[in-house]
Amino acid sequence: MNKVKGTYDVLPNESKMWQALEKKIAQLMERYNYKEIRTPMMEYSEVFHRQSEGSDMVTKETYDFLDRSDRKLTLKPEGTAGVIRSFVENKLYVGNDVVKLYYIQPNFRYERPQKGRYRQFMQFGVEAIGIRSPLLDAEVVSIAYNFIKILGLKGAKIKINTLGDKTSRTNYLEALKAYFEPHREVLSYDSKVRLDKNPLRILDSKDENDIKLVKDAPTPLEYLTDDAKNYFDDVLKYLDSANIDYEISPRLVRGLDYYSHVVFEVEADIEGFGAQNVLGGGGRYESLVEELGGPSLGGIGIAFGLERILLALEAEHINLASEDAIDAYFIVFDEAHKKHAFSYAEMLRANDISVEFDFKKTSFKNQLKRALKLNAKYLLILGEDEINQGTITVKNTVTETQESIKQNDLLTYLKEKLGE
């Protein structure tokens, strides 16, 4: 039997990387005071298929199905809508000017699988919902910036733009339509449809002819109201004051209909990285909370594709799980001594020290081999002499020095050494 097309297994030798990445995310989120939210894998379809939605993703890429009672359900294709559904349903806004949330979750999209593009993929995302403030927008851009930084990725940059407020957007959409309309015949099939439904999406087109036309298309920056321009300037001022690098990308728009004001993406600029080089994207949304039945509140969010982050780390030879080692490995000379090893192991494990030993009866040499393969930091050797004298021989596998330690002192000794 094979796995479902476009999915993948995380095998034991890869899971450390995922765990290390998730740990980094949790640490980062603590610094910014964002709290984790976990929402279900499936939602009622209308959470994603709303009337206003004109994006390709929502119209053709979702996994929709009927359950046994004929309810229309959808596997989450993205994180924001589910989080907002929960935010509204649980009235998280009560008593809070801003609610800062993050998630790490699988998403499902029926796309053509390739490197960096899967049908089930993991996203880390944040949503800051409530007050409309350039400072909050700057904070979310800063999260994206620092996420890349704490991972040690060098070839990644932030591209930012604004779509402005409702008026700016409406004017801009008209200008876009007017610009593309005379070229309707040469547009790709998809872009012809987009021209009627959501011309913004044409700017994301990968079609060669479309790309040529997009080069001279008007940009949202030319259609900003004074308010929208000031808002964007304020966001940029905050970023400048904190030396957060970014590049203004005047034709960056994001496909989902609900964005307004700031939109941004994190792009990998790594040699040989391949076509799927957008690591993350986000922006401000003003109408989504209301559309999902909540009060008139906006929010700003970003989501990163974690498989692409791992690919970028690999391309830059960064191994987050390099500390993948166990603390101690018991080596015994006699099967009868295994019960001692087992009881010491229990005691050490209860004190947060990772311990392993051999389960089969095997030679000293083979035990040593396995210990080194598992990157054990210390060998805990239990022979006849040690048992008789109530000691353990502790050998550091890096310095190759060894000491005889009284069994009662083992925990203190290891704790001190491992803490160094």
Binding site for ligand AMP (CB under 6 A): 78, 109, 111, 116-118, 121, 123, 278-281, 303-305, 307-308
Least distance to ligand AMP, CB of residue 3, Å: 15
Select 55 or 133, whichever has its Cβ closest to ligand AMP: 55
Residue nearest to ligand AMP (CB): 305
Which residue is it, tokens 């594709």?
A: 305
Select 109 or 169, whichever has its Cβ closest to ligand AMP: 109
Select 34 or 304, whichever has its Cβ closest to ligand AMP: 304
Q: Residue-wise over 380-414: b if at least 16 C-beta within 10 A, else e?
A: bbbbeebbeeebbbbbebeeeeeeebebeebbebb
Least distance to ligand AMP, CB of residue 256, Å: 8
Select 204 or 234, whichever has its Cβ closest to ligand AMP: 204
What stretches of 66-165 show up as alpha helix (H) in DSSP? 80-89, 134-151
Select 116 or 199, whichever has its Cβ closest to ligand AMP: 116
Select 164 or 281, whichever has its Cβ closest to ligand AMP: 281
Using the Cα atoms of residue 25, residue 26, residue 29 and residue 34 in order, give the sign of their dihedral: positive
Least distance to ligand AMP, CB of residue 62, Å: 12
Least distance to ligand AMP, CB of residue 376, Å: 36
Q: For residue 173, what is the enclosing H or E element? A: helix 166-180
Select 117 or 415, whichever has its Cβ closest to ligand AMP: 117
* Residue 164 near residue 228 (C-beta atoms within 8 A): yes
Least distance to ligand AMP, CB of residue 96, Å: 25
Least distance to ligand AMP, CB of residue 80, Å: 8
DSSP for 188-253, written as a single string:
-HHHHHHHHH-GGGGGG---HHHHHHHTTS--GGGG--HHHHHHHHHHHHHHHHTT---EE-TT--
* Residue 254 near residue 220 (C-beta atoms within 8 A): no
Using the Cα atoms of residue 190, residue 195, residue 197 and residue 202 in order, give the sign of their dihedral: positive
Q: Around Cβ 74, how many Cβ atoms within 10 Å? A: 21
Task: List the end-to-end C-alpha distance of the chain, in Å, as a whole number.
Answer: 48
Least distance to ligand AMP, CB of residue 194, Å: 16
